[in-house]
Amino acid sequence: MNINYINWGRIDYAQALAKQRELFDYKVGQKLEGNKNISQDFIVCEHNNVYTLGLHGKDTNMLITDAMLKKIGAQVFRTNRGGDITYHGPGQITGYPILDIDALGLGIKDYIDVIEQSVIDVMATYNIQCERLHGATGVWIDINTNKCRKICAIGVKASRGITMHGFALNVNTDLNYFSYINPCGFIDKGVTSMQKEIGSKCDYGKVAREVFEKFKQLVENK
């Protein structure tokens, strides 16, 4: 199965969103024309400091003023993905798989499950024990304790079986930026990173590639 691994590197959110939309719209158009050989692209990148709100995101989950946003060098965008508010920034793997999940034999729930499992499996190789939290997408640690914290957020959009948006895995992320929001709308759960869990920085590029390889393996074994 040919799934392309594409790394856009450090890119502003607005530019990445425009590139995503162009690819997404093109592939939806191909699908409508009956094309059976749509390219499968697993895109990763890193953003400058930005907050994004999903379709059901509440403005009240942004806890600071426009003046403070400017001071910390962050922007805000409202998007058409699922989920509430989250942060993207340096040291975080932001994944934008733009895939024809019909051709992969996946429904949208299966697709999200595969992303979650890919991250859970890769984190286990770093001795970070993660799991799912019922009723909340993403990848979590210590779900049944008062230390419950998220290491990977997920918010996707799909139309005609074509996906966009995706996941955000905190590798060496500055977690202070999460203190300015209610991440994903939660006020009683924390956020973490690989660096925080392990106590040292991780190889960002290596982790990104590992998540892709695990995703591809899980899809092939579906």
The structure's pTM equals: 0.93
Q: Residue 187: what pLDDT?
A: 61
Q: Residue 142: what pLDDT?
A: 95
Would you please indicate which residues are annotated as catalytic (active-site) residues? 184
pLDDT in tens, the chain (222 residues): 799 999 999 999 999 999 999 999 999 999 999 998 999 999 999 999 999 888 777 888 888 888 988 888 998 888 878 778 889 999 999 999 999 999 999 999 999 999 999 999 999 999 999 999 998 899 999 998 999 999 999 989 999 999 999 999 999 999 999 888 876 666 667 899 999 999 999 999 999 999 999 999 999 987
Q: Residue 61: what pLDDT?
A: 82
Tell me whether strands 190-191 and 149-159 are parallel, antiparallel or unpaired: parallel
d(CA 118, CA 113): 8
**Residues sharing a CB contact under 8 Å with residue 28, sequence separation 6 or more, in sequence order:** 159, 160, 162
Query: Which single residue is written with the structure tokens 């001071």?
Result: 71
**Residues sharing a CB contact under 8 Å with residue 61, sequence separation 6 or more, in sequence order:** 53, 84, 85, 181, 182, 185
Q: Are 75 and 49 in contact (CB under 8 A)?
A: yes
- When computed from its CA atoms, the radius of gyration of the chain, rounded to whole angstroms, is 17
Core vs surface per residue 70-107: b (16+ CB within 10 A) or e: eeeebbbeebebbbbbbbbbebbbbbbbbbbbeebebe
